Structure 1
Amino acid sequence: MVGRTSNKRLAEIVRLRKFRELKKAERKALEMELATLEWKLRELQVGPQEFSSSKTQGGISRQLSAYQLAVDVLLHVNQSLRSKVKDTKTLAQVLATWVTSHHPQITPTTRLTWTDTTLMAHPVARRQGFHWLSERLYHAAIRGSEGLSRNEFDKFVDDSMQFEMHTTLNDDGNVQITRMDLHCYNILFEKFDTIAATAWNFLRHFSFGAAWLACNVEIDRVHGKLVYDHNVNPRDRTSLRRILCMFEEPNRVVITLTKVKDDELYALTPGERRTHGYAWYVIERLTDHMTLMKHSYINYIPTTLAGEISLEEFGELFGLLRPTDCHQVRYIESIRSAAERAYIGQIQEGVNMYRQYLLGCKSGELPCSL
């Protein structure tokens, strides 16, 4: 509100300045016209002969006076235009700053610092960690979902998905994969409360891996809407430990899934490959019988006791054979294509399973309450 008031005040100042400059220019023009009329009046009053003789004597000075007046007017107009350009530039910069402050960047940074937080073994610190990590992800979800609504999905009405793989250069100058993102957008013709309840129950039981749906086992429960669970992908044997939390608002529900990398109570074991990252579901009421669901999945390279798995091991997760040549860029592109197919196919399967679950809840065959 303060920013909006200051912008209005600045716009009013610019408008008044332009008005005053316009009046000054009009005054200069009137002065020139007045000088011309006075000259013509004098010619009529003294007669043609007297005026002719006086014209010879003072013509040069009068011409210089008129020329100087014209130069003054042109200089004033030039300065006025420069001032307008400067004011417009200042206003544009202020508005750009205001827009940026209200609309942050859409996609998160390559790695949010809090995602490397270790979950403590001490019971009190552990419970606090559940809350703290979930709240950090909740705020990231709000920013991220608002950005996607403005820029990525404005043109869509039907369900849509967008995949992106991020890369960077390592210390040796080679390209390496840092993370993979999938952003999804669904419109569901059902009541908001029903979607929120069924989505929570569905996510409690199922987790979406790189190319497989895994069933979750609850390990800890802080309360009914904050739990810690675990699963192992039956296809590639990667493990996942996640904090699942629900944040409720009158017309919006946010479900966060923090995929924990380091846990003192459940440390990495030899041979274990643990996936980590985060995901969120933002469920918003559109009408009484129409609900919008935006969900994003951010996954980093699985880690082991020795660190992140190699590029070749990562490719094997998507069914790729180890490369026989040294064309790393080509191999990374193969991973990108395979990962995109796997992620989109697996998430689409999950969405279809959820729709079937929703129908079962509506028919009374399955429970859908929180």
Structure 2
Amino acid sequence: MSELALQDRCSSDMKEHLELATKELIEAVKSLEQDLVRRKKHADPHFVALVIAKSKIAAFEEQNKELKTMLADRELLKAWLADWVDTFTPRQGEPNYMELTLLQDDEGRRKGSIYMTNQIHIMSQKAYPYKPFGNSLEDKTGVKIHSGEDEHGVCIKAYENYVHFTVEGNYENVAKTWRFDYTESTTLYTVLMVEKMDEDILYSIQEHNELKLKRISVSGVFPGYPGQDRITITHAGIAVDERFPFGDGETRVNGFQWTIFEHITDRLTLVRWSLLVFPPVNAQGQLSLHETARSLRCPVNRFDSEEAIIERIRNIGELGLNKLRDQFRERCKRFVLEAPTMGSRDQLFEEDE
């Protein structure tokens, strides 16, 4: 038998087998359909309801899953949009309490001193425009403590102080007396070093005679703008000086302040003294609340609450400012018997020859 004849015979046999299998499948499907019809006629209605319910529940759960996914995506979008809008919303943040640092090199120190001094002067003139209170003469003293938290608990971030008072004497002479405290030793501070950084800007190192706190500062003198009878003295307390590292046990006070001396009459001067003082620092960083209290000779014990310690420090600060005010007034009493102006005791106040 030829090969072609064999192929035809195999193909014919396969066709017969497929037709037979198809008939058998059709008969099986008919039998299943008849059985299904019979089962439906005799099925338990509760069973049918249960099957239908399970089917619908499964479909509902699948739909619910899709809806939950859509809801989660929508919430994420809302949160993202809210954050995006928030970036364009102006707000008043917490104050930026800035410790001042002087660099090692001469040019960096000089430029830094000039910048700090001018910035403080600009702030002083914005805070106190010329005669903003109509020369109000009553004494005022205020101490506000800005608190926060550190690794030890509640801490003091800064002291915001102001003293408003009058002194008998010409405003130029009163300003010279105030400036004198930065260049010469007094009963309160011992001057260890004075260096001229720029025109009318001095660098000085002082030590508090009682508290033994070191004060490294840059101060400047600014006459009033044309038409203003006032003098402003600025003071920037340096926390870190790269040229003078901390000594053993050394603690420094730091912050910034300005004092404005304004003409009331030829023999009466209005003084506005504003300070933002930061907690003392040492080689390890800023002192804790209890360390700050001890450095200021403020009595504390382990049973005192942090709020009580802060209030005690605030009271001591207010008493100290009033004491300094009264001492300064006492020193200026000699002007009552002097002429409205006197010769300068400080080269930074002398007129050009």
TM-score, normalization: structure 2?
Answer: 0.62
Higher helix share: 1
Tell me which of 206, 215, 226 is aligned to 1:231: 206
Task: Kindly indicate whether residue 253 of structure 2 is the aligned counterpart of residue 271 of structure 1.
Answer: no
8 Å contact 1:318–1:339 — kept in the other structure?
Answer: no
Shift in CA distance, 219/190, structure 1 to aligned 2, threshold 3 Å = closer
The CA distance in 1 between the partners of 2:254 and 2:178, in whole Å, is: 22
Tell me which of 173, 178, 181 is aligned to 1:199: 178
The unaligned stretches of length 5 or more in structure 1 are 1-104
Tell me which of 165, 173, 183 is aligned to 1:186: 165
8 Å contact 2:211–2:297 — kept in the other structure?
Answer: no
The CA distance in 1 between the partners of 2:267 and 2:304, in whole Å, is: 55
8 Å contact 1:213–1:350 — kept in the other structure?
Answer: no
- For the pair shown, which has the larger CA radius of gyration, 1 or 2? 2
Shift in CA distance, 334/112, structure 1 to aligned 2, threshold 3 Å = closer
Shift in CA distance, 164/362, structure 1 to aligned 2, threshold 3 Å = farther
Secondary structure of the 1:168 match is strand
Task: Kindly indicate whether residue 183 of structure 2 is the aligned counterpart of residue 241 of structure 1.
Answer: no
The CA distance in 1 between the partners of 2:273 and 2:315, in whole Å, is: 21
1:40-189 correspondence runs (5 A)? 110-113=95-98, 116-146=99-129, 156-170=136-150, 174-189=153-168
Shift in CA distance, 288/235, structure 1 to aligned 2, threshold 3 Å = closer
1:187-206 Cα distance to aligned partner (Å, 9 max, x none): 34543433344433344336
1:32-86 Cα distance to aligned partner (Å, 9 max, x none): xxxxxxxxxxxxxxxxxxxxxxxxxxxxxxxxxxxxxxxxxxxxxxxxxxxxxxx
Secondary structure of the 2:252 match is coil
The CA distance in 2 between the partners of 1:145 and 1:365, in whole Å, is: 27
TM-score, normalization: structure 1?
Answer: 0.59
The unaligned stretches of length 5 or more in structure 2 are 1-91
8 Å contact 1:198–1:358 — kept in the other structure?
Answer: no
The CA distance in 1 between the partners of 2:199 and 2:135, in whole Å, is: 37
Aligned residues: 253
Shift in CA distance, 323/110, structure 1 to aligned 2, threshold 3 Å = farther
8 Å contact 2:170–2:267 — kept in the other structure?
Answer: yes
1:6-54 Cα distance to aligned partner (Å, 9 max, x none): xxxxxxxxxxxxxxxxxxxxxxxxxxxxxxxxxxxxxxxxxxxxxxxxx
The CA distance in 1 between the partners of 2:97 and 2:134, in whole Å, is: 26
> 1:230: how far off?
0.7
The CA distance in 2 between the partners of 1:259 and 1:292, in whole Å, is: 24
The CA distance in 1 between the partners of 2:143 and 2:339, in whole Å, is: 32
Task: Kindly indicate whether residue 305 of structure 2 is the aligned counterpart of residue 310 of structure 1.
Answer: no
8 Å contact 1:361–1:368 — kept in the other structure?
Answer: no
Q: Which has the higher contact order (CA 8 A, sep 6+)?
A: 2
8 Å contact 1:167–1:176 — kept in the other structure?
Answer: yes
Secondary structure of the 1:345 match is helix
8 Å contact 1:281–1:294 — kept in the other structure?
Answer: yes
The CA distance in 2 between the partners of 1:245 and 1:184, in whole Å, is: 19
Shift in CA distance, 121/333, structure 1 to aligned 2, threshold 3 Å = same
Tell me what 1:327 maps to: 305
> 1:254: how far off?
1.3
8 Å contact 2:176–2:344 — kept in the other structure?
Answer: no
